[in-house]
Amino acid sequence: MEKTLRSYSKTVVIVIWIIATLQFAYAKDKEYKALSDFRVAVGEIFPLNSLEDPNSKALLADRILGKAVLINFYTQYCPPCIREVPKLNQVMENRNDINVLAITPDNHDEAARYVKRYGLKWPVASNANELLSEQLNVDAYPAFALLDSKGRLLATVYANQLGGEDGHATVEGIEAWLNFHVGTASE
């Protein structure tokens, strides 16, 4: 029995190693399309100041920074955004090396309802239309940005680049993209 258990454990470890290797290889070979005309260049500080949560309270950068930050740009009118919520919750559970932040143009009340209805487990910056449309030029939802632990932009990507054949982000696709970039996020 003990020999069978050890053999099974070795098999599980090998399978996990193969999956991780394939994820890394997939991310390395894949060309991710960055958000077009995004107005923060890679290496520049992302404008986290003046963000407010759905309760109109300031979202403090020191609550978000300190780890790599995965930013999810969403709006309540976007069905793929809704489908991503459980996937992002799973990514958060799988990884302790990142923080997640959502930024939405939706007003505070709409964002609060969205958080409650769909079960977001990360901070949300709402009423951010000026930031998204004028400062950043985010023109498609859902999309992502990745910051290093000090708030510098590492990368952006359209969510449909991080998934399956149906064009929707998957946990594996999000994590492969993070794995591709997070090495530069750790200091």
Burial (Cβ within 10 Å: 0-12, 13-18, ≥19) of residue 13: exposed
3-state secondary structure (DSSP) of residue 155? strand
C-alpha dihedral, 158 to 164 to 166 to 167, nearest 10°: 0
Q: Residue 24 and residue 173: Cα distance in Å, rounded? A: 10
Tens of pLDDT along the chain (187 residues) come to: 666 655 555 554 454 444 444 444 444 446 888 999 999 999 999 999 889 999 999 998 888 999 999 999 999 999 999 999 999 999 999 999 999 999 999 999 999 999 999 999 999 999 999 999 999 999 999 999 999 999 999 999 999 999 877 778 999 999 999 999 985 444 4
Amino acid at residue number 76: Q
